[in-house]
Structure 1
Amino acid sequence: MTQFFPSIQPFSSEMLGTSNGHSLYLEQTGNPKGIPVLYIHGGPGAGIGEDYRRFFDPDKYWIIGFDQRGCGKSTPFGELENNNSHALVDDVLLIQQHLGINKWVLFGGSWGSTLALLVAIRQPESVIGLILRGIFLAREQDYTWYLEASGGAAQLFPEYYQDFIAPIKNKPKNVSIVDAYYQIFTSNNEVQKMAAIKAWCLWEARISRLHCQLDEELLVADVHRAISLALLECHYIKHACFIPENHILNNIGKIQHLPATLIHGRYDSVCKIEAAYSLSRQWQNSRLNIVPESGHSAVEKMITQALCAASQSMANFWLGQQ
Structure 2
Amino acid sequence: MDRSAGQKRATHHLFPPIDPFDQRMLDVGDGHQIYVEQSGSPSGIPVIVLHGGPGGGCSPAMRRYFDPAEYRIILFDQRGCGRSRPHASVEANTTWHLVRDIETIRQTLGIERWVIFGGSWGATLALIYAQTHPDRAAHLVLRGVFLMTRAELDWFYGGGAGRFWPDLWARFAELIPADERHDMIGAYHKRLFSGDMMLETRYARAWAGWENALASVSNDGPVGEAPAQYARAFARLENHYFKHAGWLERDGQILQDLPLIQHIPATIVQGRYDMICPPTSAWDLAQRWSRADLRMVPLAGHALSEPGISAELVRATRGVQRQAVALGL
TM class by shorter chain equals over 0.9
Shift of 1:154: 1.0
Q: Distance in 2 between matches of 1:171 and 1:232?
A: 25
Q: Distance in 2 between matches of 1:122 and 1:214?
A: 40
- Output the TM-score relative to the length of structure 1: 0.95
Q: 1:259 maps to which residue?
A: 265
Q: 1:199 maps to which residue?
A: 206
Q: Distance in 2 between matches of 1:173 and 1:183?
A: 11
Q: Distance in 1 between matches of 2:284 and 2:322?
A: 27
Q: 1:317 maps to which residue?
A: 323
Matches within 5 A, 1:244-283: 244-283=250-289
Could you tell me which amino acid in structure 1 is paired with residue 204 of structure 2? Answer: I
Shift of 1:148: 0.7
Shift of 1:321: 5.2
**Is contact 2:168–2:222 with CA below 8 Å preserved after alignment?**
no
Q: Distance in 1 between matches of 2:89 and 2:47?
A: 27
Shift of 1:192: 2.4
Matched, 1:159 2:192: no
Shift of 1:216: 2.5
Shift of 1:11: 0.5
**Which secondary structure does the structure 1 equivalent of 2:321 belong to?**
helix
Q: 1:297 maps to which residue?
A: 303
Q: Distance in 2 between matches of 1:281 and 1:13?
A: 39
Aligned partner (choices 242, 247, 260) of residue 237 of structure 1: 242
**Which secondary structure does the structure 2 equivalent of 1:124 belong to?**
coil
**Which secondary structure does the structure 2 equivalent of 1:203 belong to?**
helix
Shift of 1:215: 7.4
Matched, 1:34 2:44: yes
Q: CA 1:215/1:183 → structure 2, altered by over 3 Å: closer, same or farther?
A: closer
Alpha-carbon RMSD: 1.5
**Is contact 1:46–1:71 with CA below 8 Å preserved after alignment?**
yes
What's the CA shift string for 1:222-250, capped at 9, x where partnerless? Answer: 33221111111100000001102111001
What's the CA shift string for 1:184-234, capped at 9, x where partnerless? Answer: 0111333322221111111111101000277732xx343322111111110
Matched, 1:142 2:152: yes
Q: 2:86 maps to which residue?
A: 76
Could you tell me which amino acid in structure 2 is paired with residue 190 of structure 1? Answer: M
**Is contact 1:171–1:180 with CA below 8 Å preserved after alignment?**
no
- Output the TM-score relative to the length of structure 2: 0.93
**Is contact 1:265–1:293 with CA below 8 Å preserved after alignment?**
yes
Matches within 5 A, 1:17-166: 17-149=27-159, 151=160, 153-166=161-174
Could you tell me which amino acid in structure 1 is paired with residue 254 of structure 2? Answer: I
Q: 1:226 maps to which residue?
A: 231
**Is contact 1:104–1:129 with CA below 8 Å preserved after alignment?**
yes
Shift of 1:172: 3.1
Q: Distance in 2 between matches of 1:147 and 1:158?
A: 13
Shift of 1:123: 0.5
Shift of 1:34: 0.3
Q: CA 1:23/1:321 → structure 2, altered by over 3 Å: closer, same or farther?
A: closer
Q: Distance in 2 between matches of 1:25 and 1:35?
A: 21
Q: In percent, how many aligned pairs have the same letter? A: 38
**Which secondary structure does the structure 2 equivalent of 1:18 belong to?**
strand
Q: 2:184 maps to which residue?
A: 177
Aligned partner (choices 291, 296, 302) of residue 285 of structure 1: 291
Q: CA 1:171/1:25 → structure 2, altered by over 3 Å: closer, same or farther?
A: farther
**Is contact 2:23–2:35 with CA below 8 Å preserved after alignment?**
yes
Q: Distance in 2 between matches of 1:278 and 1:214?
A: 30
Could you tell me which amino acid in structure 1 is paired with residue 165 of structure 2? Answer: F
**Which secondary structure does the structure 2 equivalent of 1:299 belong to?**
coil
Q: Distance in 2 between matches of 1:303 and 1:185?
A: 32
Q: CA 1:245/1:227 → structure 2, altered by over 3 Å: closer, same or farther?
A: same
Shift of 1:264: 0.5
Q: Which runs of 5+ in 1 are unaligned?
A: none
Q: Which runs of 5+ in 2 are unaligned?
A: 1-9
Give the number of equivalent residue pairs: 317
**Which secondary structure does the structure 1 equivalent of 2:135 belong to?**
helix
